[in-house]
Amino acid sequence: MTIQYKTKGVCSQQMNVKIEDGVVQTVEIVGGCHGNSQGVASLVEGMRAEDAIQKIQGIRCGYKATSCPDQLSKALQIALAEEAKRKQCGATLVDGAPPGASEIPFMNTEERVHMATLFYPGCQIKKDYPEASKKLAEYIQSKRPVEVVGCCRVDHGKSTQEDTALVVCNNCANIIAESGDPGSIEFVWEIIDNDPDFPFPDYHGEKMTIQDCWLAVEKRHVQDAIRSLMRKMNIQVVELPENHEKTTFCGMNLTAECNPSNAKLAPKRYVEEGGHMFRPLSPEARQAYFTDYCKQFTTDKVVCYCKSCRGALLAGGADARHILQLLFPEG
């Protein structure tokens, strides 16, 4: 019994699973991290499908609602159900299949169709980096079927539990998490980081400082993906003392009143938990803060993954580059 399962909410796109008499014969995972996929597949091959399901069901990847092992458990459940159905019916092929045809998955339409991936490219990101944003969109669309949607403030409600929200912007992720209802939220950086065929540009071992963003302070998987991308571009990563979960920086955002739209659409993040982080400053005080902040950098370039962070660092005199600019350089 062989089925093809379209994955939901993970980097891999498809799982081809073969079972016989309830035992996993072969597993092929298409897309995603090749090493992890091979490891997961080899671990379950030869196991009883029910035992494998018990071991891997419910595993989550970071803050996602699922993972490749969890998706494999769903594929195995479908395979078991289809095998039982065919044994009961005394059939090995889908009705109407010609003699000698290979097995065809007999799944419900909703299991056959890939969940929607809603791609939020980020309004300001598109405005500030039009060429890089265009290249990113073309890359994403070459890797998976996506529906490109508009502004997160307007289109957050488009996502459902059957969807993955794919984002570039940290603020988009926070708004969609609270005002939308996606099955999972995924960052484009993770997709690129897990792509063994991505044509990474070479920055020849140049040292660059990484500036973490308070909007992603709890998203260690995003922070790790950014650093991994930098290393894959042959960049030596220089850390700040206040990095990862210690960062309190978000440039322009935190030196003004909280955006009313952000407060309305993500009140837990920006009011209940983070309201104390906003410190409105006068233009003069803000400029002095940014200038002083940039004195700590020991490298020529600083890498950001937030528009607001980059704007503040540029205002403070640093040569700040958004990770998108490095991945998709102009020219």
With a threshold of 0.75, does the pTM exceed it? no
Query: Among 285, 280, 212, which Cα is nearest to 250's?
Result: 212
User: 204 and 183 in contact (C-beta within 8 Å)?
Assistant: no
pLDDT value at residue 159: 76
Q: Taking the CB of residue 142, how many other CB atoms lie within 10 A of it?
A: 7
**Residue 30: left (phi > 0), alpha (psi -120 to 50), or beta?**
beta
Structure tokens that stand for 15 in this block: 């799982």
Structure tokens that stand for 313 in this block: 């660092």
45 vs 225: CA distance, rounded Å: 30
**Coil, strand or helix at 206:** strand
Our CA angle for 131, 210, 247, nearest 5°, is 115
User: 59 and 9 in contact (C-beta within 8 Å)?
Assistant: no
Task: Burial-class residue 235 by CB neighbours within 10 Å (0-12, 13-18, 19+).
Answer: buried
Task: Burial-class residue 226 by CB neighbours within 10 Å (0-12, 13-18, 19+).
Answer: buried
User: 302 and 312 in contact (C-beta within 8 Å)?
Assistant: no
**Coil, strand or helix at 318:** coil
Cα-based distances in Å from 330 to 131, 192, 297, 305, 322: 7, 18, 25, 18, 13
**Residue 237: left (phi > 0), alpha (psi -120 to 50), or beta?**
beta
CATH 3.40.50 is held by the domain 2-100: no
Contacts with 115 (C-beta within 8 Å, 6 or more apart), sequence order: 6, 8, 9, 162, 163, 164, 183
DSSP string, 241-296: SS-GGG----TTGGGSPPPHHHHHHSHIIIIITTGGG-----HHHHHHHHHHHGGG
Q: Are strands 184-187 and 147-148 parallel, antiparallel or unpaired?
A: unpaired
Domain ranges of the chain: 2-100, 117-327
For the chain, which ranges sit under pLDDT 70? 1, 63, 85-115
User: 132 and 324 in contact (C-beta within 8 Å)?
Assistant: yes
Q: If you ran DSSP here, which 8-state letter would residue 214 be given?
A: G
Q: Taking the CB of residue 102, how many other CB atoms lie within 10 A of it?
A: 7
pLDDT value at residue 268: 92
Provide the H-helix boundaries in the chain. Answer: 34-44, 49-56, 68-89, 109-112, 123-128, 130-143, 152-155, 170-179, 188-193, 220-232, 260-265, 267, 283-293, 307-315, 323-327
pLDDT value at residue 182: 83
Q: If you ran DSSP here, which 8-state letter would residue 218 be given?
A: T
